[in-house]
Amino acid sequence: MEHKIREMVRDADGSRGELIPLLQKVQSEFGYISQEAVEAIAEEMSLSESRIYGVATFYSEFRLQRPGEHRVKVCMGTSCYLRGGKVLMERTVQTLGIRPGETTPDGKFSLERVACVGCCARSPVVVVDDEVHAKVSSSKLDRIVKNLGGES
């Protein structure tokens, strides 16, 4: 992986402005931005690791933990938000014990917030492993998690 990242940096010609697109590329290739990735980028671009980490944590689109076996995405788009998305998110945070962007210690679940997935009519929406669950209530959410082997 380290090797691949170094190549990506070199392709991106390594100038500073390229950091965000580069992080996006790394994330789409590996699913997240790992510690090793940050180290390799820092070395290749002569940037400090903390600086890169600071940028990566500033934008919610970047994940800094390996995604879980199951990726739970709670929609926080306007429509979902207004129809209980916020409560749903709070509930998920409570159930899984992690914040958006994090992965449970056992590696089973990771949580993300997404903006509108195009199903506003059936909001609030939760997407689990690419499967869209519509009109999700708190109890429905608990069921979904339970079916995947999580406690709730």
Binding-site member from 10, 60, 115, 149 for another protein (CB under 8 A): 60
Establish if 114 lies at the interface with another protein (CB under 8 A).
no
Other Cβ atoms closer than 10 A to 75: 28
Q: Using CB under 6 A, which of the segments 50-58, 75-83, 96-104, 138-146 binds ligand FES? A: 75-83
109, 72 in Cβ contact below 8 A? Answer: yes
Give the footprint of another protein on residues 118-137 (CB under 8 A).
none
Spacing of C-alpha 57 from chain mean position: 11
Tell me the two tokens of residue 32. Answer: 């997240």
Query: Taking the complex as a whole, how short is the minimal distance between the CB of residue 91 and another protein, in angstroms?
Result: 20
Return d(Cα 84, Cα 63) in angstroms, integer: 25
- Residue 105 touches another protein, criterion: CB under 8 A: no
Q: Does position 54 bind another protein by CB under 8 A?
A: yes
Please pick, from the candidates 14, 18, 30, 51, the single residue that binds another protein as defined by CB under 8 A.
Answer: 51
45 binds another protein (CB under 8 A): no
Residue 88 interacts with another protein (CB under 8 A): yes or no: no
How far is the C-alpha of 35 from the C-alpha of 20, rounded, in Å? 16
Pairing of strands 126-128, 109-114: unpaired
